[in-house]
Amino acid sequence: MKTVLAIASFEKGQAFLRQCKAEGCNTLLLTSQSLQDADWPRESLDNIYFMPDVEKEWVLADMLHAVSYLARTVKIDKIVPLDDFDVEKAALLREHLRIGGMGDTTARYFRDKLAMRSKALDGGLPIPRFVGILNYDTIRAFMAEVPPPYVLKPRSQAGAIGIKKIESADTLWPLLEVLGDRQSHYLLEEFLPGTIWHVDSIVDDKKVLWALVSRYARPPLEVSHEGRVFCTQNVVYGSAEEKALKKLNATVLKTLGLVRGVSHTEYIQSAADGKFYFLETSARVGGAHIADMIEAASGLNLWAEWAKLEVRESYSPAPLHKRYAGLLVSLAKQETPDLSTYSDPEVWWRMKKKNHAGVIVASEHYERVTELLESYTERFYADFFHRLPPKEKATD
């Protein structure tokens, strides 16, 4: 029997844990003390351990000691991070306990945006021009060569959290002054207007076994910073965009060194030249209920598939269907939004979360999904939409 230790500083990955248990594994969870009462599938867990935390922040030395103590009596075979912020924790533990899987260096390529871009540049991948916030003369040379606007990005946050758009070179320096000693944890990148796409993948032995290509209706940065309804849908199968992005995606993941696991990777199609550029990747299931949309489109639950991939001797994904699906999510002004009037037969899922509204629609026809998303988006703005300031750090 294999023992799997899952790490989750945020509440997610329940389907992964259930599938591990269904595969016959000794299934352990290490999570935050603040999530002691979260909706974990305790019937599928052989044990659950809690780390003291302040806003999901753990003392890594304490985590290392705690898991090392556990390892005295439990032989751990796999360590799997369920969130972006746990990738480095898992790598640290694997290195210390000498357990196979992604180590510290490769984990950097999937968490540290500066390392990610440097590796991509070395591999000849198409990426926006960038510079680390390290040497000031190098930053000045970058801004002299690359015209504004820019984006100032935290190197190890997730999604659009903490990103700031810089309209001119002069506005950068006061922001760096405010950041103080934290500024080395940022990079500056040219802002490329365009359409943002994402490819969600299953990878084994450095080969993409399966992938789904989708397009955001609006860039996540715009959704986060300007207040918009979040929307994405998978694209036409066999289209030129799907073929091009699948090809680029396979190259990106191989270049960055993902041996086994799942990945959510984002690309931009530049409005200026129409070319695709690699933006960022991850070694985890996509957030914001994208995994649910993927399940509606394909029948594959990426959390469960990830568990199968990790613990089985041989694995091959088997999609149940090849449909089109789309996702809408919005902050809601109501504590419990009423979604009952969103009653078209294509509605596959309705969100149940305080002060949030969300639906997934699915159909055999791409045009029908597009039609419903456009109609529902307008209705969401009228029925539910609420805006809050963008987050500076992840809280849930």
Dihedral (CA of 321, 211, 218, 178) sign: positive
Matching residue, tokens 């090392």: 68
Residues 231-257: b if buried by 16+ CB within 10 A, e if exposed: bbbbbeeeeebbebbbebbbbbbebbb
Tokens of 229: 């309804």
In this prediction, residue 251 has a pLDDT band, given cuts at 50, 70 and 90, of very high
The pLDDT score that the predictor gives to residue 21 is: 98
- Number of helices (H), then strands (E), in the chain: 12, 16
Task: Give pLDDT tens digits for 104-142.
Answer: 999 999 999 999 999 999 999 999 999 999 999 999 999
- When pLDDT is cut at 50, 70 and 90, the band that residue 390 belongs to is low
Q: 50: closest CA among 69, 67, 31?
A: 31
Cα–Cα distance list, 44 to 262, 293, 313 (Å): 22, 24, 21
> Above 80 in pLDDT, residue 286?
yes
How many CB atoms lie under 10 A from the CB of residue 41? 16
pLDDT in tens, 148-194: 999 999 998 876 678 999 999 999 999 999 999 999 999 999 999 99
The owner of tokens 């690309």 is: 267
Examine residue 149 and say whether the peptide bond preceding it is cis (omega within 30 degrees of 0): yes
Range from 53-62, 101-110, 222-231, 384-393 that averages highest in pLDDT? 101-110
Outline where 57-186 has alpha helix (H). Answer: 60-70, 87-97, 104-111, 113-122, 136-145, 169-179
**What domains appear along the chain, each with residue ranges and CATH number?**
3-101 (3.40.50.20), 129-190 (3.30.1490.20), 194-383 (3.30.470.20)
pLDDT tens by residue, 67-85: 999 999 999 999 999 999 9
